[in-house]
Structure 1
């Protein structure tokens, strides 16, 4: 098994908790920065890190307001938006002195990671995209409805609040999976524990209401993808209730040489298809040019 260290780092907004592998051999491979989704945290990558962490340097932070990260700014000082979270993770990257890395994004990881990449494209050696949307074609009807909810819509806010219940969390974990008995209860139970911490749900409602800012930013991210022409791997649970298969295929417009792998599972593809995904990730990173630090 991989050797994993559990660490914290102080940023202006939060004490960021993160998991970091200590590989036996790196051999010039770029590190992998794993950015988690909703309603999860870095724990969603535990299985992948245990599988690949002896071979690769892997880093998975918890965003402000997620997982084990703790707010350090005065109450109300940090506005929970995707822009602000991306700035905090960018500060985290700089404090770790990460000069170039593979960006692995899932779900909320796209609006966090792609904002950073568009600002600082030289950081990104390659990108792995797992059920992380950047195209309007990838939004299901349910996602389009949720994205359009305004702050003053009481019925809409109630619907968003339902996503933060145990039933809503389990819906994301189980919808579209081929074998429900393969889904460990540990993941969604831990997610819900974090969601139920004081103040967390209000922050997440703010983020869900801010998701429309990501749709507005899709053209910017698409331009970055096209201009950067990066090595890319797309991993997609094709039965995702929010981000549909068309979103995976849309990436090929701007990344025509990307690897595309579709799986008969749902949103949290790693929960059911880790055995298939781990070797694909390893193969992709091993094929990248050797990483040389300055």
Structure 2
């Protein structure tokens, strides 16, 4: 696995890369509050047959995190940075694996250039209102509608280490399978000076993703893109109905609910890897 950076629009974007560029590309798009670090086990498990790319979104991981008053943080902007990285690396086609925040980035990539996307894997990457667990999302909707101090305070808790720990451990039958390094790593990077303002800006922009869902569903119906959902069925952020909903627009979608939480790769890496490799072999390698 190589650890690289590229200068995109004046910003340093960190990415992990493995496998031959002669092989089909699989782009891994991480969620909140993590980075490409979440794919540290999956990347080598795919690199024998695929060219694997896993960038850190701007503001996350080891990519630059320009202040919120110097960069217009939003999911459109994160997508543009990712799109420019793919162009820089001459990636003309790729399968995408999306998780959490990676999903709205992935959907925008597909809407902008549908011919680029060869297949989709969703690991708790939501595309339907049915997927939102109301108790978790209510404070975010309130803050997006009105960034008053009391609403901001309600979402600031998500930046703390205990909230990040909960994201990793809820819904996991055996929490000892999840390394504490995960939430300490994420918290340290989120705690960089000024990064709280970055994350708050993205919280406020999240409704833009929901507004995009009708176009995403139309894309699914028109493209019939192969889709695999490998979903932590115990997730209290994006519930299992979010996985089942893919079948509404993609009747051939392959949907697997694992006995796991939001970060299913942390506790069920082997199971998820087997499902992903089988899916990619049938969709990418068979078509090559």
- Work out whether 1:264 is the aligned partner of 2:249: no
Equivalence for 1:19:
16
Q: Under a length normalisation based on structure 1, what TM-score does the superposition of the two structures give?
A: 0.93
Equivalence for 1:60:
54
Written as runs of structure 1 = structure 2, the 5 A alignment for 1:30-179 is 30-71=24-65, 76-149=69-142, 150-179=145-174
Per-residue deviation, residues 239-283 of structure 1 (Å, max 9, x unmatched): 111101111000111111011111111000000000101111111
Determine which of 201, 205, 226 is the counterpart of 1:231: 226
1:78 shift after superposition: 1.2
Cα distance between partner residues in 2 of 1:39 and 1:98: 26
Per-residue deviation, residues 194-244 of structure 1 (Å, max 9, x unmatched): 111111111011101111111111111111111110111011101111101
- Work out whether 1:207 is the aligned partner of 2:202: yes
3-state SS of 2:184 partner? helix
Q: Under a length normalisation based on structure 2, what TM-score does the superposition of the two structures give?
A: 0.95
3-state SS of 1:92 partner? helix
Cα distance between partner residues in 1 of 2:170 and 2:284: 38
Written as runs of structure 1 = structure 2, the 5 A alignment for 1:268-283 is 268-283=263-278
Equivalence for 1:8:
5
CA RMSD of aligned residues (A): 1.8
1:290 shift after superposition: 4.3
How many residues were matched structurally? 286
Determine which of 236, 240, 254 is the counterpart of 2:235: 240
Q: Judging changes above 3 Å, is the alpha-carbon distance between structure 1 residues 13 and 65 closer, same or farther for their aligned structure 2 residues? A: farther
3-state SS of 2:40 partner? helix
Q: Judging changes above 3 Å, is the alpha-carbon distance between structure 1 residues 11 and 215 closer, same or farther for their aligned structure 2 residues? A: same
Per-residue deviation, residues 151-180 of structure 1 (Å, max 9, x unmatched): 433222112110010011001001111101
Please tell me whether the aligned partners of residues 82 and 207 of structure 1 are also in contact (alpha carbons under 8 angstroms): yes
1:76 shift after superposition: 2.3
3-state SS of 2:237 partner? coil
Cα distance between partner residues in 2 of 1:290 and 1:134: 26
What are the ranges of 5 or more consecutive residues in structure 1 without an aligned counterpart?
none
